[in-house]
Amino acid sequence: TQLLEQSPQFLSIQEGENLTVYCNSSSVFSSLQWYRQEPGEGPVLLVTVVTGGEVKKLKRLTFQFGDARKDSSLHITAAQPGDTGLYLCAGFGYNFNKFYFGSGTKLNVKP
Amino acid sequence: ETGVTQSPTHLIKTRGQQVTLRCSSQSGHNTVSWYQQALGQGPQFIFQYYREEENGRGNFPPRFSGLQFPNYSSELNVNALELDDSALYLCASSSFRGSTDTQYFGPGTRLTVL
């Protein structure tokens, strides 16, 4: 079983629509990161959240860390074709000194 | 400042063979982590090297081994290759800040085991 569950697994939307991707766990994390990965490339870090309830914004992307630090969400406003890619969350846990990645959400934004 | 580079880009091996993958870390970074990413999955942590010492290992068998050199570049060695070892192997370099680490990933090495 995955330590971090991401949903949905796949998302295909039209340009201009809004979307939310979820990252859930039964474990508590000291930090949670979101990455975007494009085909043929390694993941690129978008944000790190460390405080329960924390909200960070990066242009049209809004990231939230759950109050209990077990879950996170990524909301994209007015999606654009350039947002297409694999979105990965990764948690750094208190009891394991490394990052665990979720299985990812594959987003396709159609023009 | 150069980014993280990996070599080779692609590799095809047969079952039972051995493979060595290489990673050059970003300038100023002392930590390299290796990940295995199967098709359609997220990266799985293999191990991390900090200042030439192994600093944590994931759930991978001993036939996965590594090295970090004084210039902080790193190698991943896999012995007795199995079909399930086919994956994208990613390395990430960082300055070791634990939970707030910013990992910079290379483009990966695509390994196919036939």
Report pLDDT for B99: 77
Give the residue on B whose Cα is nearest the Cα of A34.
B102
Name the residue in chain A with its Cα closest to that of B48: A98
Q: Provide the Cα torsion B72, B78, B83, B85; round to 10°.
A: -30
Task: Report how far apart the first and last C-alpha atoms of chain A are (Å, whole number).
Answer: 36
Cα within 13 Å of Cα(B58), Cβ side? 17
Residue range B16-33, pLDDT digits in tens: 999 999 999 998 899 999
Give chain A positions within 8 Å (CB) of B58.
Answer: 98
Write out chain A residues lying below 8 Å of B45, CB-based.
98-101
Residues of chain B with pLDDT > 90, as a percent, come to: 85
pLDDT score of B96: 77
- Let me know how long chain A is: 111
Distance from CA of B15 to the nearest CA of A (A): 24
User: Is B4 at the interface with chain A, CB within 8 A?
Assistant: yes
User: How far is the C-alpha of A28 from the C-alpha of A8, rounded, in Å?
Assistant: 21
Residues of B (64-93) whose Cβ lies below 8 Å from A = 90, 92
Question: What mean pLDDT, rounded, does chain B reach?
Answer: 93
Which amino acid is located at A27 in the chain? S
Q: Identify the band that residue B75 occupies on the pLDDT scale cut at 50, 70 and 90.
A: very high
pLDDT at B1 over 60: no
Burial class (CB in 10 A: 0-12, 13-18, 19+), A94: exposed
Q: pLDDT at residue B93 above 70?
A: yes
Count of other CB atoms within 10 angstroms of residue B76: 26
DSSP B86: -
How far apart are alpha carbons B10 and B5 in whole angstroms? 13
Q: Is B94 on the interface with A (CB under 8 A)?
A: no
Position A97 scores a pLDDT of: 75
Q: How far is the alpha carbon of B70 from chain A, nearest alpha carbon, in Å?
A: 23
Q: Per-residue confidence at B2, pLDDT binned at 50, 70, 90?
A: low
User: Which pLDDT score is estimated for B12?
Assistant: 98
**Chain B residues in contact with A65 (beta carbon < 8 A):** none
Three-state SS for B104?
A: strand
pLDDT band per the 50, 70, 90 thresholds, residue A1: low
Say yes or no for a CB contact (<8 Å) between B44 and A101: yes
Cβ(A66)–Cβ(A49) under 8 Å? no
What does the pLDDT read at residue A111? 95
Q: Do B90 and A42 touch (CB under 8 A)?
A: yes
Q: What is the pLDDT of residues A4-34, one digit of tens each?
A: 999 999 999 999 999 999 999 999 999 999 9
Closest-CA distance of chain B to residue A67, Å: 17
Position A5 scores a pLDDT of 95
Per-residue model confidence as pLDDT tens digits over A46-91: 999 999 999 999 999 999 999 999 999 999 999 999 999 999 999 9
pLDDT band at A108 (very low <50, low <70, confident <90, very high): very high
Interface membership of B107 toward A (CB under 8 Å)? yes
Q: From the list B35, B43, B107, which residue is nearest A40 (CB)? A: B107
The confidence score (pLDDT) of residue B100 equals 79
Residue of A nearest to B4 (CA): A42
Q: Which of A33, A60, A25 is nearest to B105 (CA)?
A: A33
Q: Say yes or no to pLDDT of A94 above 80.
A: no
